[in-house]
């Protein structure tokens, strides 16, 4: 929470060293949140929606590969819509040391969230986790730790969940 100037609220945390939590879970689990705040967790889409509705928020993503290489990216705005609209993703402009894989051939900005039991396409089941998908993904911070090459965490940087050591998504209210 002290990264990049501090004041961040962690909405997703995954660490290979902490007890593992299955991120290939149901719509209702992603809606309510799951895991352990001292380990791996997803705060919940309803909570994310509430946190990002009243005020503008920025998004900070931090990743570390199993080879101990660190990567950071920040977005000027971040929010998701309500459940009825599928928790649709909105992002502002990117800054950081890696390419914007949310906006690419598989652009997921303005796409709804999917899980294996609440899918807009086959991608949640194929990629093994809940996420924002369009023609599957070039970024999926919830990719299984045992994932194969078709499951990039951040394409071109961390090619699969098996190469991921740590990922965090954090939001901060803009002043």
For the stretch 114-137, pLDDT in tens is: 999 998 778 888 888 999 988 787
Task: Give the separation between CA 137 and CA 106, rounded to whole angstroms.
Answer: 6
Burial of 167 (0-12, 13-18, 19+ CB in 10 A): buried
Quick check: 107 and 90 in contact, CB under 8 A? no
Model-wide pTM > 0.75: yes
CATH of domain 3-173: 3.90.215.10
Residue 28: the pLDDT is 98
pLDDT digit string, tens, across residues 3-54: 666 789 999 999 988 767 999 999 999 999 999 988 899 999 999 999 999 8
Range 77-85 average pLDDT: 96
Rg (CA), the chain: 14
Among 142, 130, 123, which residue's Cα sits nearest to residue 25? 130
Domain positions in the chain: 3-173
């Amino acid at each position: 929470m002290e990264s990049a100037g501090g004041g961040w609220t962690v909405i997703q945390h995954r660490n290979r060293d902490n007890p593992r939590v299955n991120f290939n879970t149901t719509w209702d689990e992603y809606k309510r949140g799951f895991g352990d705040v001292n380990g791996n967790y997803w705060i919940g889409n309803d909570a994310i929606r509430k946190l990002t509705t009243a005020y503008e928020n920025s998004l900070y993503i931090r990743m570390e590969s199993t080879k101990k290489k660190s990567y950071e990216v920040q977005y000027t705005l971040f929010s998701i819509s309500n459940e009825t609209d599928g928790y649709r993703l909105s992002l502002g402009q990117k800054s950081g040391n890696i390419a914007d894989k949310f906006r690419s051939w598989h652009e997921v900005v303005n796409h709804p969230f999917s899980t294996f039991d609440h899918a807009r396409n086959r991608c949640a089941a194929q990629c093994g986790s809940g996420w924002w998908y369009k023609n599957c993904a070039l970024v999926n911070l919830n990719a299984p730790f045992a994932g194969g090459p078709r499951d990039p965490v951040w394409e071109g940087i961390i090619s699969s969940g098996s190469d991921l050591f740590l990922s965090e998504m954090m939001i901060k209210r803009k002043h």
